[in-house]
Amino acid sequence: MTGNQQPETLLAKLGGVSGLVYSTLPILVFVPVNGVWGLTAAIWSALGVAVAILIFRLVRRGPVQPAISGLFGVALCAFIAYRTGSAKGYFLFGIYTSLVYGAVFVASIAVRWPLVGVIWGTLNGDGNSWRRYRKALLAYDLATAAWVLVFAARYLVQSQLYDTDRTGWLAFARIVMGWPLAALALLVTVWAVRRAESAVPREPDESDEVADDEQPSRQEDAPA
């Protein structure tokens, strides 16, 4: 896989640019509807937007997995808001998800299995051979640490807003600290992937082996 393919592949796993933008729409609908018509209307509005995004993806024959995951996430957040009886409950799952993700990513660095490297090795089929090379391991450590900073910032800021009942600012923080921060971490990830792959020696492919095998035979057939 070439370096030019890496950013598109990583971004595609998130549903592309449109997928990142669509992920903010249920929140943009939830908060104002809650302020005008109440929690129940806000819950159904957010679910309706998530369903509409899924239908739009199906009609356009685009990737539907991000939309399905988004619908599941909205449904879970809406359920928590319903059970807590508070609009701020909609954001509770995301807050604690950031805490868990941050802890897992920190642990992966501590045990020398940085998750960015593990995930990328799984996606491109190269496995974990990169762990034998110090520069590759360091690059993936840095990329994983970048995601730790993202998760930590989300948890610290949003949990504080949650505790002080600032639902409007909580929604704003959720959007601003969502895909914009993820985009920054993604840039670090792309840099790390390129640096790590340059540090790992390329194994000869079948075409190289065939060329090497044919060269001696051509020399033997050459006239004296």
Contact 131, 113 (CB under 8 A): yes
Mean pLDDT in residue range 130-157: 96
Number of Cβ within a 10 Å radius of residue 42: 23
Contact 89, 81 (CB under 8 A): yes
Read off the pLDDT of residues 55-111 as tens digits, 9 standing for 90 and up: 998 898 877 888 888 899 999 999 999 999 999 999 999 999 999 999 999 999 999
Please give the single-letter amino acid code of residue 214: E
Mean pLDDT in residue range 171-186: 91
The domain segmentation of the chain, as residue ranges, is 7-85, 87-201
Please give the single-letter amino acid code of residue 3: G
Mean pLDDT in residue range 51-55: 92
Q: Both tokens of residue 45?
A: 């509005």
Mean pLDDT in residue range 147-173: 96
Between 11 and 53, the higher pLDDT residue: 53
Planar angle of CA 54, 121, 129, nearest 5 degrees: 175
Q: How confident is the model at residue 150 (pLDDT cuts 50, 70, 90)?
A: very high
d(CA 21, CA 29): 13
